Amino acid sequence: MALMIGTECMSCGLCIEECPNDAILDSNPIYVIDPDLCTECVGVFDEPQCVRVCPMEVIIPNPDYAESQEQLLEKERRILGSRDPDQ
């Protein structure tokens, strides 16, 4: 399940630096998570890094994107495979 950022977000920017998939966008008025790029950090970290650093504790599961652990792992592999190795 991709995560989403609640409306209490204060746009501090801490989460953007932590996301391994560049899934978090600096949008107006609050930051947003691209569900196509969010994997809940499965396969990379033991816990969602954005949740770990969010001081407002407003990052929650996005009910519109229910995915199994296996689907999240597959998404992570797809994202990694699409990256330019020179980046």
- Contact residues toward ligand SF4 (CB under 6 A) are 3, 18-19, 21, 23-24, 33, 38-41, 48-50
The CB-of-27 to ligand SF4 minimum distance in angstroms stands at: 13
Nearer to ligand SF4, 33 or 86 (CB): 33
| CA–CA gap between residue 51 and residue 75 (Å, rounded) | 19
The CB-of-36 to ligand SF4 minimum distance in angstroms stands at: 11
| CA–CA gap between residue 80 and residue 55 (Å, rounded) | 28
The CB-of-51 to ligand SF4 minimum distance in angstroms stands at: 7
Q: Which pair of structure tokens corresponds to residue 56?
A: 């407002």
Torsions phi, psi for 84 (to 5 deg): -70, 120
